Chain A
């Protein structure tokens, strides 16, 4: 049940227009990021090769390019996915208080996910080389 409102044509792009545009170009950027990740971990290799945390530090995050790649994947997938979730919430929840509550709750989850992921990528020990991590196990 949408409420009709009258608005002036905004002079600058509104947040919603920028979000709409972001969903499109971040989606296009996510194609190489997500497919690259899936192809390397799940097609060329498999979850069977992941032995534990030491394995990740030695074979993945030892390389700077892998950490940068993972950081891009983390940030773009998180912002794109949670903005998508916001669209879904706005489509189905029309009660002001509940909508605001769910939006704030999902925003908190977004912040937690970005914090955990970024700290792990940046602060993990064992960075030894600039370039590598293309092994087929």
Chain B
């Protein structure tokens, strides 16, 4: 049976180029974002269902591990969104497939250009939160 792990392992072995990196990145980023999304909707619903628990969830988001995860999530969403836009545009305009390699490279470049300022600003937030002592949960 083919598995997700098998896909990742074989993809590394196969050394596919832009298209395959884009496909695997899109799948992993989509699944990662979905996992976070489910957790995040549940904890946000505690604003209504369990306000005390909500405070604890928010404290967890201010821990170093989750702050790091937040940066990873930003990267995953930017990758999935911009690459997803590429997929949609190429499906609507098949004549663009002549330039698929160049378009893939341009897509990666746009992703990097969007992520760099986001990373710098978020790193600033993290330093501020951790140095103010607001990062609550011990051990994380």
Contacts and interface: CB of A to CB of B under 8 A. Distances in A.
Contact of B47 (A85, A88, A124): A124
**Interface secondary structure of A, over-half rule:** helix
A104 interface: no
B19 to A, nearest CB: 17
Interface stretch (B1-9, B10-18, B97-105): B1-9
Contacts of A31: 81, 85
A62 to B, nearest CB: 12
B20 interface: no
Contacts of B33: 81
Interface string A74-94: 100110011011001001111
A47 B62 contact: yes
Interface residues of B, number: 45
B112 to A, nearest CB: 16
B47 A42 contact: no
B44 A120 contact: yes
A43 B122 contact: yes
A31 B114 CA distance: 13
Q: How large is the interface on A (under 10, 10 to 19, 20 to 34, 35 or more residues)?
A: 35 or more
Interface string B63-105: 0000100100010010001001101100110000000000000
29 contacts: A24-B88, A28-B88, A30-B81, A42-B74, A43-B118, A43-B121, A46-B125, A47-B129, A48-B128, A52-B51, A52-B58, A81-B37, A84-B30, A88-B27, A88-B31, A94-B1, A94-B2, A95-B1, A116-B42, A116-B45, A117-B41, A117-B44, A117-B45, A119-B48, A119-B49, A120-B48, A120-B49, A123-B48, A124-B48
Interface of B: 1-4, 7, 27, 30-31, 33-34, 37-38, 41-42, 44-49, 51, 54-55, 58, 61-62, 67, 70, 74, 77, 81, 84-85, 87-88, 91-92, 118, 121-122, 125, 128-129, 132, 134
* Nearest 6 interchain pairs by C-beta: A53-B51, A46-B125, A120-B48, A116-B45, A81-B34, A120-B45
